[in-house]
């Protein structure tokens, strides 16, 4: 799609103050500049079995801006007020995007949570956040009604779909109503949004502990959109296929069109690759965002079928280190001058750094394969960072931290305008992750690694995942790279069994589907080869135990972060069973 021409600015175009205060003002700006350009295309036929989407529902930027303003007025009429915590649980698509912008315009606090985290985690997180209303599909409202005692403050509720046995309006009714005064845009509001005002609560994946509610301020979102656009050179008029729903919000703030893919965003590894390739070809997609697990599936499909996607010039992937084989396959499938980029960060601080596939393949991959860790690249311009001595306890003030020189492994700590300032659930985590430096808040990422002489960070794993053996500390990513070098291994995980300080290092491997051992004898031969490989390298020479697992447990958001805590428990059981069996002889 060619870049649309700029239009003359009408008198009520958002002011710079509004744009800097509320990210919804950036949607209004897009609507003023490119009113007739498609903002979102949503497939109408989303069956489970693959078939090309024959029809799409589309909204222009002007229509999306009007719809979200109308919904903001409806939310106000329902009683939604600035600062109210409103849970949003709807499927990815036009309704989701319009409702998020409506909540921003109404200055409510949007609570976003992954439904795939499991029933117990989900209900506990919802209860802890103390919501004052739910905007959700019928199933969500049914659960909310049946468990009303757990959500006593949830009085403003909107059903997206058919209402069953509960009260409150539906989204269809809200759209059909007329209001005395439409919701003012952020530019027209008599009390403009301050960048420090709360905007959303987003939950962590819970890959290293219970999910925590991260408070996003409006300024965090505004800065995220600005930095991502500037760093990657994203231009208005581009078309994006987001494999993660929240990225569509940034698109609208950047004048970029969004085509919603047919997929379950909580299970990116299970995507049908044709549901990604077909819309890329049909809509001439220029950019796409997804987890490494998604691009692994798509890249293998493109390689097997010799598929080229020449319009695709920019692929973004986040959530976990992107394996070299994924980089190679995806770079071969997209435009020759295109690249796959890996932004690095966390729910609490994103983006922090970035590296391109070209840099990885040309400069860092060989070192990573020999245990140097994964280079995540250089920092974004507004980020400050430092590596500090590893400490499992709280470091509440900057004078309590001990910075480490380049090349020495420690914990990464960052500050900047995209770095969130606090957790609002599981608030005991604030002392463990937030460091005060006057008015500045540093965030301890919980990632360990080191800075090189080019000020690039090399990721060596999670602090909580390090193995503290009697002979010293072992870091997961460098050790796992050794085992991943075996042709049959898809991925591996190093875990520690026993108390810290005397842990027994155990490697757990998952094989490529086509290389899965068919018999017990084949499995034993594979494990023997892996034990020999581990013994041959200094980083892994103390790993005497290697176990095979059919499918390593991973996070629900990206299907890429390995739940090593669960694996450690499983490995302990396997070793205990093997020791018992050996003793019986």
Q: Which domains does the chain have, with CATH numbers?
A: 26-42+54-219 (3.40.50.980), 374-462 (2.30.38.10), 466-575 (3.30.300.30)
pLDDT at 47: 60
Q: Tell me how far apart the alpha carbons of residues 432 and 347 are, in angstroms, rounded to a whole number.
A: 16
b/e sequence 423-442, b meaning 16+ C-beta within 10 Å: bbbbeebbebbbbeeeeebb
Q: Where are the alpha helices (DSSP H) in 22-60?
A: 24-33
Q: How confident is the model at residue 115 (pLDDT cuts 50, 70, 90)?
A: confident
Q: Exposure of 14 by Cβ count < 10 A (0-12 exposed, 13-18 middle, 19+ buried)? A: buried
* Contact assessment for residue 215 and residue 201, using Cβ atoms and an 8 Å cutoff: yes
Average pLDDT over residues 544-563: 88
pLDDT at 1: 38
* Contact assessment for residue 125 and residue 132, using Cβ atoms and an 8 Å cutoff: no
pLDDT digits (tens, 9 = 90+) for 431-446: 999 999 999 999 999 9
Start-to-end CA span in the chain (Å): 71
Q: How confident is the model at residue 583 (pLDDT cuts 50, 70, 90)?
A: low
Q: Looking at the predicted structure, is the pLDDT value of residue 155 above 70? A: yes
pLDDT digits (tens, 9 = 90+) for 330-340: 999 999 999 99
Q: Looking at the predicted structure, is the pLDDT value of residue 6 above 60? A: no
Q: Looking at the predicted structure, is the pLDDT value of residue 51 above 70? A: no
Share of the chain above pLDDT 90, in %: 83
Distances (CA, A) of 105 to 72, 130, 137, 379, 573: 6, 21, 21, 32, 52
Structure tokens at 314: 């920019």
Mean pLDDT of the chain: 92
Q: Tell me how far apart the alpha carbons of residues 497 and 284 are, in angstroms, rounded to a whole number.
A: 50
> Which of 144-158, 175-189, 273-287 bottoms out in mean pLDDT, i.e. has the lowest?
175-189
Stronger pLDDT, 209 or 3, i.e. the higher one? 209
pLDDT at 192: 81
Q: How confident is the model at residue 68 (pLDDT cuts 50, 70, 90)?
A: very high
Q: Looking at the predicted structure, is the pLDDT value of residue 384 above 90? A: yes
Q: Looking at the predicted structure, is the pLDDT value of residue 188 above 60? A: no
Q: Looking at the predicted structure, is the pLDDT value of residue 399 above 90? A: yes
> Which of 116-125, 411-420, 504-513 bottoms out in mean pLDDT, i.e. has the lowest?
116-125
pLDDT at 14: 77
pLDDT at 377: 98
Q: How confident is the model at residue 550 (pLDDT cuts 50, 70, 90)?
A: very high
Question: DSSP code of 353?
Answer: E
Q: Looking at the predicted structure, is the pLDDT value of residue 7 above 70? A: no
* Contact assessment for residue 60 and residue 136, using Cβ atoms and an 8 Å cutoff: no
b/e sequence 219-235, b meaning 16+ C-beta within 10 Å: bbbbbbbbbbbeebebe
HSE of 394, CA atoms in CB hemisphere, 13 A:
10
Average pLDDT over residues 547-569: 89
Residue 268 phi/psi, 5-degree rounding, is -60, -30
pLDDT at 49: 60
Q: Tell me how far apart the alpha carbons of residues 173 and 55 are, in angstroms, rounded to a whole number.
A: 25
Q: Exposure of 5 by Cβ count < 10 A (0-12 exposed, 13-18 middle, 19+ buried)? A: exposed
Q: What DSSP letter does each residue of 125-146 carry, written as one string?
A: HHHHH--SEEEE-HHHHHHHHH
Residue 87 phi/psi, 5-degree rounding, is -75, 130
């Amino acid at each position: 799609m060619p870049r649309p021409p700029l239009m003359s600015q009408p008198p009520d175009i958002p002011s710079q103050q509004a744009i800097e205060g509320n990210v919804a003002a950036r949607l209004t700006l897009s609507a003023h500049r490119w009113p007739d350009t498609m903002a979102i295309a949503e497939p109408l036929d989303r069956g489970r079995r693959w078939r090309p989407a024959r029809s799409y529902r589309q909204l222009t930027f002007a229509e999306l801006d009007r719809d979200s303003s109308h919904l903001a007025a409806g939310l106000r009429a329902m009683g939604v007020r600035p600062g109210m915590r409103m849970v949003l649980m709807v499927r990815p698509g036009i309704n989701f995007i319009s409702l998020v912008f409506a909540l921003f315009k109404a200055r409510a606090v949007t609570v976003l949570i992954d439904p795939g985290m499991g029933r117990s985690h989900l209900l506990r997180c919802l209860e802890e956040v103390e919501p004052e209303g739910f905007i959700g599909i019928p199933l969500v409202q049914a659960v909310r009604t049946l468990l009303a005692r757990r959500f006593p403050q949830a009085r403003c509720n909107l059903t997206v779909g058919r209402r069953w046995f509960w009260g409150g309006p539906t989204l269809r009714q809200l759209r059909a109503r007329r209001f005395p005064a439409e919701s003012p845009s952020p530019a027209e509001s008599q009390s403009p949004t301050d960048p420090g005002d709360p905007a959303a609560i987003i939950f962590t994946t819970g890959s290293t502990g219970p999910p925590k509610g991260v408070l996003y301020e409006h300024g965090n979102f505004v800065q995220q959109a600005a930095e991502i656009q500037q760093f990657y050179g994203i231009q208005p008029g581009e078309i994006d296929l987001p494999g993660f729903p929240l990225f569509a919000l940034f698109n609208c703030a950047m004048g970029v069109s969004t085509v919603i893919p047919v997929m379950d965003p909580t299970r990116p590894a299970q995507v049908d690759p044709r549901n990604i390739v077909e819309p890329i070809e049909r809509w001439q997609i220029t950019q796409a965002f997804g987890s490494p697990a998604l691009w692994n599936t798509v890249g293998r499909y493109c390689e097997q079928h010799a598929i080229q996607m020449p319009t695709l010039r920019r692929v973004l992937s986040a959530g976990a280190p992107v394996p070299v084989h994924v980089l190679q396959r995806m770079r071969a499938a997209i435009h020759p001058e295109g690249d796959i980029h890996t932004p690095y960060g966390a729910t609490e601080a994103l983006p922090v750094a970035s590296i391109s596939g070209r840099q990885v393949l040309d400069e860092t991959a060989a070192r990573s394969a020999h245990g140097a860790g994964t280079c995540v690249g250089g920092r974004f311009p507004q980020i400050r960072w430092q590596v500090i001595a590893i400490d499992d306890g709280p470091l509440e003030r900057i004078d309590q931290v001990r910075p480490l020189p380049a090349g020495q492994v420690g914990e990464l700590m960052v500050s900047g305008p995209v770095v969130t300032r606090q957790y609002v659930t599981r608030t005991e985590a604030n002392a463990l992750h937030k460091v005060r430096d006057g008015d500045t808040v540093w965030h301890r990422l919980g990632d360990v690694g080191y800075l090189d002489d080019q000020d690039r960070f090399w990721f060596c794993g999670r602090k909580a995942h390090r193995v503290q053996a009697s002979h010293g500390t072992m870091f997961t990513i460098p050790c796992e790279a050794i085992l991943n070098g075996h042709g049959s291994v898809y991925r591996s995980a190093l875990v520690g069994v026993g108390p810290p300080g005397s842990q027994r290092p155990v490697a757990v491997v998952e094989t490529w589907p086509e290389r899965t051992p068919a018999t017990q004898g084949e499995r034993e031969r594979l494990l023997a080869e892996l034990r020999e490989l581990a013994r041959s390298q200094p980083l892994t020479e103390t790993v005497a135990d290697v176990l095979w697992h059919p499918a390593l447990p991973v996070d629900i958001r990206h299907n890429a972060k390995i739940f090593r805590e669960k694996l450690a428990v499983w490995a302990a059981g396997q070793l205990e069973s093997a020791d018992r069996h050996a003793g019986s002889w």
